[in-house]
A and B are shown apart, each in its own frame.
Chain A
């Protein structure tokens, strides 16, 4: 059982939004609105992915220069870890951790430049949307346990992808992000 706070943390990286989703129950189950265009979120999805994850898996830490993520846990629990890597952000270098649960769902919007990692203590499924099609060039990453991230994980030996296991350190990810954001004109 993950014991990190389930309520909204006191401060989130600028541009990150946690949105509680309301369940409407009827005799046969429930309906939960996950996304509506008229919510005017900072993410206009072009692609939706569905992920099933085994216990003790960690995905990340990743950061994107171009695309935003929008995610929601359907079943199980996700420990969502965030770290702001945007030098001009008012919350630059802020780190936070928050549990998202399939019970009492909420969605999370993660803007470009905010590094994120997901840890799953138990089997979990979740949906996420992106506002640009997947592109390997926009997938920057660093070691999940790099101390520069300021994140405390409830595991020492998570299951990782080969790419995440071989990821470079924080400094290399930060340099890559600044270069990509400069190239995109986001820091000029």
Chain B
């Protein structure tokens, strides 16, 4: 049960209400009025092969909204914000498209997505994707304290060649400092 997992501050996991009938089902997955956080400017559909892992990434600026609408997904989270009471907290969530949930991930919380089976994710972002707002590290860096349910996932070239945890954390903190100067 994901409800009992202690999450990094400002991460929100919301159970969505599905309305079934004899034709199928309808779920309101997002309404602007539900959220106080910056609203998405962009929505992307992400299709993942079985055993694919995306991440681990962290953003300086943008908030992510995530809903697994096909298959299932493990989401690893790790708080890189030193000013938060949940700094360095890690959590592993399992999202199942048979029970739709919306996950909100704030800037500064590193995240990775693992698909044990084919999955489809709807991703909202509060700013347009730019590579400069995407800091990466190896998915299996031990400092992340993430117990992935895999040992040899499929990775993109960028994720395969990503640096270590310390590099990602330093890049994030430098970008945050530059943004406030």
Contacts and interface: CB of A to CB of B under 8 A. Distances in A.
A46 interface: yes
A49 interface: yes
Contacts of A10: none
A59 B44 CA distance: 25
Contact of A30 (B27, B47, B70): B47
Nearest to B22: A159
Contact of A29 (B26, B49, B122): B49
Contacts of B157: 26-27
Interface string A107-133: 000000000000000000101000001
Interface in A44-69: 46-54, 57, 59
Contacts of A161: 21, 23
Contacts of B122: 34, 48, 50, 127
B41 A37 contact: yes
Given A47-B28, A52-B25, A27 B156 contact: yes
A21 to B, nearest CB: 8
A46 B48 contact: no
B23 A59 contact: yes
A48 B49 contact: no
Contact of B45 (A28, A34, A37): A34
Interface string B146-181: 000000001111000000000000000000000000
Contact of A32 (B23, B32, B45, B115): B45
Interface string A145-174: 000000000000001110000000000000
A92 interface: no
Given A28-B52, A31-B44, A32-B44, A52 B128 contact: no
A125 B69 contact: yes
B70 A46 contact: no
B69 A74 contact: yes
Nearest to A32: B45
A28 to B, nearest CB: 3
Contacts of A29: 46-49, 52, 115
B40 to A, nearest CB: 8
Contact of B43 (A34, A57, A159): A34
Contacts of B128: 36, 38
Interface string B43-59: 11111110011100000
8 contacts: A27-B154, A28-B115, A33-B43, A33-B44, A34-B45, A46-B32, A74-B69, A74-B70
Interface of B: 21-33, 41-49, 52-54, 67, 69-70, 100, 115, 120, 122, 128, 154-157
